[in-house]
Chains A and B, each alone.
Chain A
Amino acid sequence: MKLITEKRELSSQLFRFIAPIISVLVALFVAGFLLQAAGVNPAQAYFEILQEALGSTYGLSETLVKTTPLIFASLGVSLAFRMQIWNIGAEGQIYMGACGASGVALFSGIESHPVMITAMFLAAFLCGGLWAGVAGILRARWRVNEVIVTLLMNYIAILGVDYLIYGPWKDPKGYNFPLTAQFSDAARLTEYFDTRFHSGFFLALFCALVLYLFMERTVWGYEIKVIGSNPKAARYAGMRTGLAIFAVLFLSGAIAGIAGFGEVAGLQHRLQHGISPGYGYTAIIIAWLAKRSALGVVIVSFLMGVLLVGGDSLQLTWQLPVAFVYAFQGLILFFLLASDFFIHNRLKLVKGDHHA
């Protein structure tokens, strides 16, 4: 007897759909052992995550607060993925977006709320876009691998922002903390229900809708899909693939940049150290889990939001390290990639040795 793998010619549609769900469940199961090892009852811990993230107005609002940047960043990442462009730099693009929006908020002196918010939005869009656009130009003109460029530019962005807030942009009245001065009221997004939940969430939903229409209904979406499916054929059909690579990376970074805008305008009201605790990396997992669909991104971002908020409470009540949440995210991605294998192959037990 031995175990062999065999290609499925027809991967089941149903299985394709439930595979991500199974992956999450298996990840939960395996993470259970980690919890057990840390002396925590897994069932209790999971219940607590749900309770904490969804069981109260405060918890739910916090979950949505975390969901917001995740939606933006994941939309950006998944747009690039659709064209087989791997933008690993959403984290840096968030920082650049936050930086651009903060610059406008701090130094433009605009007093009208709508004008200020629009200007901040555009600045974030542009900064995130141009940051990713660098990788776009390098890739389109000299075929430099965008994975490396976007990844490494994360560090430049994060450290660049650190320079500003430790240096020239530091709030003189901030007791030497690495943060800028508070924004004026004109530069704040509306908050609801006396919580930190802000209108950036609705902007994220709107953005998802626009992106869905863009990909599925417009001529440009069609072009992106053709290029993603076969770049040579796209060139042969007269599409300007170089321009498309730049445009898609620009847009991808710009949307991730909006996440930075949401964080400073809606939440922190200033630029500070660690403005994103790795949303840009989580976005990669989300884009993959969501199979790059805009609706999927919204749902999965929410689930990740639950996990982040719930994970925080685990830290508080059980003194678990934050690394647990990251480990859990890693497990999900791991099982998800594994599930891709099982979508296309099946395991089979055969008797004897068939290899002549």
Chain B
Amino acid sequence: MSNLLQIQNIRKTFPGVVALDDISLSIAPGEIHTLLGENGAGKSTLMNVLTGLYRPDRGEILFDGAPIHFNSPRDSLAVGIGMVHQHFMLVPAHTVFENILLALDGVPLLFSKKKYKQQVQTILDDLELDLDLDDPVWKLSIGAQQWIELIKLLARDCRLLILDEPTAVLTPQESARLFEVLTRLRDRGKSILFISHKMREVMELSDRVTVLKKGCSLVTLKRGEYDENRLASLMIGEDQIPMWIKPACKRDQLALEIKNLSVRNTRGRADLDNFNMKLYRGQILGVAGVAGNGQKPLAEVLTGLKEATSGRILAGDKDITNSTARSSYIAGIAHIPEDRKSIGIAPDMTVGDNLIMKNFNSKLFRRWIFQDRAAIRKNATAKIDQFAIKAGPDGNPVRYLSGGNIQKVIIARELSEKPAVLVALYPTRGLDIGSAEYVHKVIIDGANQGMSTILISEDLDELLKLSDEIVVMFRGRLVGCVDPQETTREEIGLLMSGEVQT
């Protein structure tokens, strides 16, 4: 079998860290190959090597049997390697067609719009995708935006498609549709490199799976050679996935009550529409829903980043509807934001500085107008130790940390003031199993000590495992409330799609 892509003994180091150590991997034409590994295992680094963002220190990449060297993503696109990133690279104000056109090479200065449109439409029809080329991108759902990213690559005739955690933002139904399309593309000879943490998907979709651990490619398994337990144990290095004991919530003491809350966005549409919810002390309340149905505004309004248009939020007997982020924090609401890199951290500052971002003004870290550097350093050492953060050398800017470790920095900071309520938005998105388990443990430990959590997630397994109660959001409304002990994935999936209401 001649391979489309062959990676041989790739090594890549960063100052003080070996990110990839002797990675070998091959991808055949017409294969779906899944890359599985914890955060910090080197998946992102490997992707960045393949797409030309990083240069390996050593080793060889063969494409079609010929050695290649990339200097920029342009080079890798030129040979036919394309990637759908976790964060979409789209221009929201432009139409679907304009975005696709941007991705094409060699479009002449004066071009026939009709001809190109026809070309793109053919791809759409071929995959049976229902997408209006003249719609502006901002109007589309996240799922539809992902299709655009994929079509951009197909329009360029890429031969190897790399998808980084594509299902993280999709409903179960949308994921199923994506798999269908990927399988079809595979059957036509496209090679697909798929990155995922979700075992079920991996089992369903892959022809082969390569497990990465600590920068090494551990083992490549063919379909049939693996099952869920084997993969999980390879990834996290133990045979058993620990299950945490869910705390029984007594529901006697109200922690937070949301009454008829509405939030309008800048375009005047309702982000939250007459939303009602009760949260009890020590409860973990799961919020399910497809991304973009009001979860983010809910979190933002709770943490004071957005103003409510109408309605009230009560904490105990205190009205906290309109307060700034700081006074909410003092009132005891912590927030793990959705987009950790863009709003959770100050990337150029040290881990220690980032750990005090929320309470830098507290007496703990301040003497009069001066910062208490010794106390800040001590706090950093303690938190790094307590949360097992791999922080690198002293004074390391936080942007050099891996995604999982950045998330740990944020969680360590948010939980340091012993909040009464935690609003966690997709707290394990993009995290490896080990880190995700750790986040779950922190949330459950908190609940045992009386912290109430609003857990907003798209990972049904996570919601089912942790929550005392699951509510489902659709278009800014609460459309259902189910008991995790009794419900099924299908029931939640249907609620998420807005087709039924309980």
Q: Are B347 and A354 in contact (CB under 8 A)?
A: no
Q: Are B68 and A223 in contact (CB under 8 A)?
A: no
Q: Are A219 and B360 in contact (CB under 8 A)?
A: yes
CA distance in complex: A10, B304 (Å): 39
Q: Which residue of A lies closest to B353 (CB)?
A: A222
A79 interface residue per 8 A CB criterion: no
B361 neighbours in A (Cβ, 8 Å): 219
Q: Which residue of A lies closest to B399 (CB)?
A: A229
A233: contacting residue among B14, B68, B304, B346, CB under 8 A = B346
Q: Which residue of B lies closest to A218 (CB)?
A: B369
Kindly identify, within residues 1 to 36 of chain A, every residue whose CB is under 8 Å from any CB belonging to chain B: 4-7, 9-10
How far does the Cβ of A251 sit from chain B's closest Cβ, in whole Å?
Answer: 14
A237: contacting residue among B15, B78, B358, CB under 8 A = B358
B349 interface residue per 8 A CB criterion: yes
How far does the Cβ of B358 sit from chain A's closest Cβ, in whole Å?
Answer: 5
CA distance in complex: A268, B343 (Å): 50
B324 neighbours in A (Cβ, 8 Å): 238, 240
How far does the Cβ of A130 sit from chain B's closest Cβ, in whole Å?
Answer: 23
CA distance in complex: A75, B348 (Å): 22
B325 neighbours in A (Cβ, 8 Å): 235-238
B342 neighbours in A (Cβ, 8 Å): 230, 232-233
Greatest chain A CB density within 10 A among B305, B345, B346 is at B346
How far does the Cβ of A270 sit from chain B's closest Cβ, in whole Å?
Answer: 38
A236: contacting residue among B69, B327, B343, B348, CB under 8 A = B343
Kindly identify, within residues 219 to 275 of chain A, every residue whose CB is under 8 Å from any CB belonging to chain B: 219-223, 225-226, 229-230, 232-238, 240
A349 interface residue per 8 A CB criterion: no
Kindly identify, within residues 259 to 291 of chain B, every residue whose CB is under 8 Å from any CB belonging to chain A: none
Greatest chain A CB density within 10 A among B305, B337, B369 is at B369
A356 interface residue per 8 A CB criterion: yes
Q: Are A226 and B357 in contact (CB under 8 A)?
A: yes
A217 interface residue per 8 A CB criterion: yes
B335 interface residue per 8 A CB criterion: yes
CA distance in complex: A354, B70 (Å): 8
**With known contacts A236-B335, A236-B337, A237-B357, A230–B343 Cβ distance under 8 A:** yes
Q: Which residue of B lies closest to A237 (CB)?
A: B357
How far does the Cβ of B302 sit from chain A's closest Cβ, in whole Å?
Answer: 13
How far does the Cβ of B46 sit from chain A's closest Cβ, in whole Å?
Answer: 15
B369 neighbours in A (Cβ, 8 Å): 218-220
B66: contacting residue among A217, A220, A236, A356, CB under 8 A = A356
Q: Which residue of B lies closest to A223 (CB)?
A: B360
How far does the Cβ of A241 sit from chain B's closest Cβ, in whole Å?
Answer: 11
B296 neighbours in A (Cβ, 8 Å): none
Q: Which residue of B lies closest to A234 (CB)?
A: B346
Q: Are B305 and A236 in contact (CB under 8 A)?
A: yes
B117 neighbours in A (Cβ, 8 Å): none
Q: Are B75 and A233 in contact (CB under 8 A)?
A: no
A355 interface residue per 8 A CB criterion: yes
Kindly identify, within residues 302 to 353 of chain B, every residue whose CB is under 8 Å from any CB belonging to chain A: 303-305, 324-327, 329, 335, 337, 342-349, 353
Q: Closest 10 interchain pairs by CB?
A: A238-B326, A238-B325, A229-B346, A232-B343, A229-B348, A237-B357, A354-B69, A226-B346, A236-B343, A230-B346
17 A-B pairs with CB atoms under 8 Å apart are A7-B55, A9-B14, A10-B15, A217-B373, A218-B371, A219-B361, A222-B371, A226-B357, A229-B346, A233-B357, A236-B305, A237-B357, A237-B358, A238-B304, A238-B326, A355-B78, A356-B79
